[in-house]
């Protein structure tokens, strides 16, 4: 039985030539990477993994089609955009579980910085 894949409501943008896949079929799609941008690729139905990076700027993601329709969400956030402190990168990472282990959040720009660093690698703020 064939099931539908929907990626942000525009499969063609992500390199999918078809919308229907059979259970067990490998599904690959592409996300064009931009400088200073963080990407989040998620689905409630499947585990989506980054398989490889091609040409240095194109991420190839994949998953195995289950016996149900799949909705994939691709979102991005430019880490250099400054709208105000409440919108800076990392400012939404208030819960320690949202950060990589061994990192702290720079109070000036919100970037994740390795614990023990004296200065933020992103903005140069003196941390300690």
Please give the share of the chain, as a percent, with pLDDT higher than 70: 83
Q: What are phi and psi of 11, to 5 degrees?
A: -60, -35
* Confidence at residue 86, expressed as pLDDT on a 0 to 100 scale: 45
Kind and range of the H or E run holding 59: strand 58-64
> What rounded mean pLDDT belongs to the chain?
83
First vs last C-alpha separation in the chain: 59
| Every domain of the chain and the residues it spans | 2-78, 79-128
Note the pLDDT tens digit of each residue in 43-99: 999 999 999 999 878 999 999 999 999 999 998 887 665 444 444 444 444 444 566
Give the mean pLDDT of 104-125: 80
Instruction: Specify the higher pLDDT residue, 10 or 77.
Output: 10
Q: What pLDDT score was predicted for residue 27?
A: 97
Contact of 72 with 29, CB cutoff 8 Å = yes
- Greater pLDDT, 3 or 111: 3
């Amino acid at each position: 039985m064939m099931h539908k894949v929907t990626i942000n409501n525009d499969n063609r943008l992500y390199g999918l030539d078809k919308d229907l896949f059979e259970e067990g079929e490998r599904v690959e799609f592409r996300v064009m990477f931009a400088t200073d941008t963080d990407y989040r690729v998620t689905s409630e139905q499947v585990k989506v993994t980054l398989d490889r990076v091609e040409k240095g700027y194109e991420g190839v993601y994949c998953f195995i089609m289950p016996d149900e329709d799949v909705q994939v969400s691709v979102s991005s956030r430019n880490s250099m955009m400054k709208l105000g402190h409440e919108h800076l990168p990392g400012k939404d990472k208030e819960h320690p579980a949202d950060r990589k282990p061994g990192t702290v959040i720079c109070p000036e720009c919100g970037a994740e910085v390795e614990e023990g660093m004296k200065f933020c690698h992103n903005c140069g703020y003196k941390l300690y």
